Structure 1
Amino acid sequence: MMTEKTEYRLNQIFKATLNLTGRVGIAGLKMSDIAKEAKIASGTLYIYFKSKEELLNALYYKLQRESAPAIVDTISHLPINIQLYKMWHIALKSLVEDNLRIIFLEQFLISPLISDTNKKLDIKFKNYLKELLDKGKKENLIKDIDSQMLISLIIGFLRTYSTHLVNEKESILTDDLVDKSFALCWQAIEK
């Protein structure tokens, strides 16, 4: 069981890593800079993570547990549009709350530092989305277009819209905006 102090320290390290990734990219990350950004000693950082690779994989895993892939098992029995909506809601909310996630995820997923375990997590989620869209095509709910193209449309819209909301300081994510943005996405893919 994780102590409150350990959880606080890990969150401090993860936040520093996201902030630095936004400024210097994954390739430019150094453990000493992460420690400095987190306001901890480098030695303390190495107590938690033996290497940059271990830290980045732990951060990726944490982000996955907090976003859409984490709910797949609990929503898979629901209608297709409801599953997509629930994932949309969680993803949009988490990206607006911390848009640095996008920068990190896009860079990390193509990084040679990603572990086989995390590659499998990513593949599992993409396969779930593909199967969900393929099922929707068979049920005549979703346009008969390549599923990878549909996934790119969904994820691209999600990323672009969340970035817009973050950059527009007066924009606040409301349930109405979640509903309207998902409705637009659904209209783009439904048959």
Structure 2
Amino acid sequence: MNTNTKDLILESTLKLVNREGLYHLNMKKLAKEAGLAIGTAYIYFDSKETIINELYQKIVRESEVAVFKNFQSERPLKETAIAMMRNLVTCFVSNPDYFSFIEQYGFSPILLKESKEKWLGIIDPLTKLIEKGKNKSLLKNLPTVLLLNLAHGPIIGMLKAFINNQVDLTDEWLQDQLFEACWKSIASENIDPKKG
């Protein structure tokens, strides 16, 4: 199998789905978008569902690598959390089509259980990091899922604003303000700023 052709099909799927929506995707449109014969698309994928699941898994894998780039668990928790937030923003600012796809279809019934479980590769380490912070009283004593959403919810909102050309999320000052606000939303009130 030619991986370049397979990647071309996945890239074309991403563009087509983000432009027209998942439910307008069919193999004929996809083949045309990729500049391939329809039969060629079927050599690599047996259905649009298979393509969508493989595309989702590819995006999650690449996002996971980006988020955990230079990850060092021995760093102070705040430094680690902000580095991961910065990596997430950098990943999706560089790949806005990835963000749009995950945001629109991350909970779609078209995704197979195995595809949805790929997301756990990102969520599980974050959950463990939050639990560690709670155990050391560095983070608020709130449910982990709430802390996780408090920390990344504003980032998701700002990424949406970036995609809609409402903010310049490449601005480092703006990023710093965003990450500090996210941190403050989860940090324990009596944390020593030097230890966090």
Superposition TM-score tier, normalisation by shorter sequence:
0.7 to 0.9
CA shift, 1:69, in A, is 5.6
**1:66-88 Cα distance to aligned partner (Å, 9 max, x none):** 21366549626233323322321
1:135 maps to 132
8 Å Cα contact 1:133/1:142 also seen in 2: yes
Paired residue secondary structure (1:75): coil
8 Å Cα contact 2:82/2:179 also seen in 1: yes
Please state if 1:184 is matched with 2:169: no
1:34 maps to 30
Give the stretch that moved more between structures: 83-92 or 69-78: 69-78
Distance in 1 of aligned mates of 2:126 and 2:46: 34
> Larger C-alpha radius of gyration, 1 or 2?
2
1:65 maps to 61
Could you say if the C-alpha distance between residues 69 and 140 of structure 1 is closer, same or farther in structure 2, counting changes exceeding 3 Å?
farther
Could you say if the C-alpha distance between residues 170 and 83 of structure 1 is closer, same or farther in structure 2, counting changes exceeding 3 Å?
closer
Distance in 2 of aligned mates of 1:11 and 1:134: 38
Distance in 2 of aligned mates of 1:172 and 1:114: 30
- The alignment of Structure 1 onto Structure 2 pairs a total of residues equal to 187
CA shift, 1:118, in A, is 2.0
Q: Residues 106-185 of structure 1: matches in 2 within 5 Å?
A: 106-168=103-165, 171=168, 173-185=170-182
Paired residue secondary structure (2:111): coil
Structure 1 alignment gaps of length 5 or more = none
Could you say if the C-alpha distance between residues 141 and 65 of structure 1 is closer, same or farther in structure 2, counting changes exceeding 3 Å?
same
**1:60-112 Cα distance to aligned partner (Å, 9 max, x none):** 12112221366549626233323322321222122222323233213433223
CA shift, 1:136, in A, is 0.8
- Give TM-score scaled by structure 2 length: 0.79
8 Å Cα contact 2:127/2:148 also seen in 1: yes
Percent of aligned positions that are identical: 30
Paired residue secondary structure (1:133): helix
Alignment counterpart, residue 8 of structure 2, candidates 7, 12, 26: 12
Give the stretch that moved more between structures: 30-39 or 134-143: 30-39
8 Å Cα contact 1:64/1:70 also seen in 2: no
CA shift, 1:147, in A, is 1.7
RMSD: 2.7
2:47 maps to 51
- Give TM-score scaled by structure 1 length: 0.80
Structure 2 alignment gaps of length 5 or more = 189-196
